């Protein structure tokens, strides 16, 4: 009977050690390793993106911060992070950069100025506001038509002629 009790204690201790060992094996990588692996996964897609995204990990929860160009990139980075072993969840704090919009007025003004050079028009200033071109300055009668043509070819909403003819 004494032998039987000893065996039960031995088996119980062996099972307890086995459970503790199994738990240690299931723990997964530490937070620093998870962070490194997420950064590597992002860098594999885009080295430039890896510099734009900050990765932090706490108890397997990955937090992404930084600014990216599109919603699609934001989603892709999150998916990359979720695919890394040891990641329990991802908090995606990435922001999408606003698109750079080139003003229509700037585009029109650049076209007018290029057309002035093309038609050899000098001494005239073009101001563009809300798609309307206003021409000011002094111009020879022979160049008036070229100046108006230069402005109209830029496709503004309207051309206001405030030039003085000499």
CATH code of the domain covering residue 130:
3.30.70.1770
Full residue range of the structural domain in which residue 137 is found: 104-165
Query: Other CB atoms closer than 10 Å to residue 139's CB: what's the count?
Result: 21
Taking the C-alpha atoms of residue 64 and residue 81, their distance in angstroms, rounded to an integer, is: 9
pLDDT, one tens digit per residue, over 15-57 is 666 666 656 555 678 999 999 999 999 999 888 888 899 999 9
Q: Which CATH number covers residue 64?
A: 3.30.1340.30
Q: What is the pLDDT of residue 12?
A: 64
Q: What is the pLDDT of residue 6?
A: 67
Please identify, among 70, 96, 122, the residue that sits at the C-terminal boundary of a domain. Answer: 96
Name residue 64's beta-bridge partners.
55, 92
Strand order in the sheet with 53-58: 53-58, 61-68, 89-96
pLDDT, one tens digit per residue, over 77-128 is 999 999 999 999 999 999 999 887 666 899 999 999 999 999 999 999 999 9
Pair (32, 92) in one structural domain? yes
Would strands 61-68 and 53-58 be described as parallel, antiparallel, or unpaired? Answer: antiparallel
């Amino acid at each position: 009977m004494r032998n039987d009790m000893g065996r039960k204690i031995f088996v119980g201790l062996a099972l307890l050690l086995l459970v503790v060992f199994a738990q240690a094996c299931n723990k997964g990588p530490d937070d620093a390793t998870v962070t490194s692996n997420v950064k590597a996964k992002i860098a594999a897609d885009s080295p430039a993106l890896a510099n734009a995204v900050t990765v932090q990990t706490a108890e397997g929860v990955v937090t992404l911060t930084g600014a990216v160009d599109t919603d699609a990139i934001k989603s892709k980075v999150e998916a990359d992070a979720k695919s890394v072993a040891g990641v329990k969840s991802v908090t995606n704090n990435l922001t999408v950069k606003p698109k750079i919009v080139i003003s229509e007025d700037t585009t029109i003004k650049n076209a007018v100025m290029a057309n002035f050079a093309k038609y050899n028009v000098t001494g005239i200033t073009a101001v563009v506001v809300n798609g309307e071109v206003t021409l000011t300055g002094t111009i020879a009668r022979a160049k008036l038509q070229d100046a108006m043509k230069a402005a109209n070819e830029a496709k503004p909403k309207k051309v206001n002629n405030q030039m003085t003819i000499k």
